[in-house]
Structure 1
Amino acid sequence: MNSDSASYLLSELMNVAFLVCSPVLFVALGVGVLISILQVVTQIQEMTLTFVPKMLAVAGTIMLLSNWMLNLLKEFTEFTFYYAAGL
């Protein structure tokens, strides 16, 4: 394996990692911003108010998108093995 092959596989790995992680991170970000706005408007400064909705939203996102995430990871794994076999 030369450096071009390694950098290509690393680039593909980073793309897949971004695709798998980004929905969960964006949902957590969105819920966090909404809860922060709610806290500012109502002047409630409870720490668990930010944690519990984020946890539920992230768990729901993972449950909804887990099939897509696993298929993406499976396809990347198959691609990696086929690519490595051709070297």
Structure 2
Amino acid sequence: MTVDFVIEITTKTLELTLMIAAPMLIFGLVVGLIVSIFQAVTQIQEMTLTFIPKILAVVVALIIFFPWIIDKLISFTVNIIHNIPVYIGKF
């Protein structure tokens, strides 16, 4: 197993992880920003006010993007499994 091979697989895995996590993180960020603006406008300084909307936003994003996430994970896994003979040949 060469160093280049390990770096390639690690890079692809990290890219997939970031791509899968991005929708939930973006939804949470946008909702957090909206709640922060609401708190600044109304001068409500309750720290726990942001948790429930963020959690709901992340759950909604997960429900919306779940088929896409599963498709990406399955295609990545199938690609890894199908290329096992190629990977063995690289030793």
Q: TM-score, normalised by structure 1?
A: 0.93
Structure 1 partner of 2:32:
32
For residue 2 of structure 1, report the CA deviation from its aligned partner. 1.2
Q: How many residues align?
A: 87
Structure 2 partner of 1:10:
10
SS in 2 for 1:44: coil
For residue 5 of structure 1, report the CA deviation from its aligned partner. 1.1
Following TM superposition, where does structure 1 have runs of at least 4 consecutive aligned residues deviating by more than 6 angstroms? none
Q: Deviations over 1:1-38 (max 9, x none)?
A: 21111111111101100110011001101110110011
Structure 2 unaligned regions, length at least 5: none
Q: Which amino acid aligns with 1:23?
A: P
Structure 1 partner of 2:47:
47
TM-align CA RMSD: 1.0
| Residue identity (%) | 34
Q: TM-score, normalised by structure 2?
A: 0.89
Structure 1 unaligned regions, length at least 5: none
